[in-house]
A = this chain, B = another copy of it.
Amino acid sequence: MALYLGIDGGGTGCRAAIADRAGRILARAEAGPANIASDPKGARDTIIGIVQGLLAGLGATEAAAVGLGLAGANAAGADLALQGALPARHVRIETDALTATLGALGDRDGIAAVIGTGAVFGRQQAGRFCQIGGHGLVLGDCASGAWLGRRALTQAVRADDGLVPMTPWLRDLLARFGGAAGIIGFAYAASPADFARLAPEVIAAADPDIMAEAEAEIMTAIATLQAGAALPVTFIGGLGEIYHNRLSGRLNTARPIGSALDGALRLAISTDRDAGPVRA
């Protein structure tokens, strides 16, 4: 039986499934972070381990195709460590934006706003895919969980300096980190996932400066992708539900029909049929 693996690898965790040619899922697995740009070796080891484990569980040694949607796959050279390292006849490595969009929209035209640890926006229109954002936390990812966490810590040290007003929430944040020095020390070593762990409290605190900046960025990205066409917007990712609720009054939204993992399986099966998605 031909086996197809889909892998959805993000900055915080990695989800995988193995299916038959009809897309029926036979087994699932989960593992740690898999950003192939920020941690190429760690991501490679995680992904090879998960693929071998899923195949071995079904008594197989090779897949017909593996479809991977990975955070960081849009960085030059990021996929080099992985190409040729997987036991499959076909391997297609794409951004998590592409697989998330495929999974969320299926065959429909629309925009997927994929907002979890990172933030990226995909558009599917007449069978063609394009994405914007997903630049990583160093250059952007505005509105993402990592960005919200880092932005809160920046706001706290700026309030400590008197550059912006101090609030009870920022004072509490400073106290928990051991003051500005503690925050500065944390930030030197923190990963995007470390910053993203603060996102729930940032959203709960609802600092108007921070949330307005995040929402303005999302609206700009969507307007750029719509380019005048009123494509429906589907929010997904760990913060998808939150932004859906905050922004659905200003946008034509649609609910996702499947997950990024469904999109990765779709990518694997279509790649084996030589009918994978085309980038615009």
Q: Which residues of A contact B (CB under 8 A)?
A: 37-38, 72, 74-78, 132-133, 135-136, 138-140, 150, 153-154, 157-158, 161-163, 178-185, 187-188, 190, 220-221, 224
Contacts and interface: CB of A to CB of B under 8 A. Distances in A.
17 contacts: A37-B184, A38-B188, A74-B181, A76-B178, A76-B179, A76-B181, A78-B185, A132-B161, A132-B162, A133-B161, A135-B154, A135-B180, A139-B150, A139-B157, A139-B183, A139-B184, A139-B187
Contacts of A179: 76
Given A140-B158, A163-B132, A185 B150 contact: no
A175 B224 CA distance: 22
Given A75-B181, A162-B224, 18 more contacts: A75-B184, A76-B178, A76-B181, A76-B182, A78-B185, A133-B161, A135-B154, A135-B158, A135-B180, A135-B187, A136-B184, A136-B187, A136-B188, A138-B190, A140-B157, A140-B158, A161-B224, A163-B220
A65 to B, nearest CB: 24
- Number of copies of this chain in the oligomer? 2
B178 A138 contact: no
Task: Give me the 8 closest cross-chain CB pairs, A-B, nearest first.
Answer: A75-B185, A132-B161, A76-B185, A76-B181, A75-B184, A138-B187, A76-B182, A37-B188
Contacts of A161: 132-133, 221, 224
A185 B73 CA distance: 9
Contact of A138 (B77, B78, B150, B224): B150
A37 B184 CA distance: 9
A185 B76 CA distance: 5
Contacts of A76: 178-179, 181-182, 184-185
Contacts of A136: 184, 187-188
B132 A188 contact: no
B157 A135 contact: yes
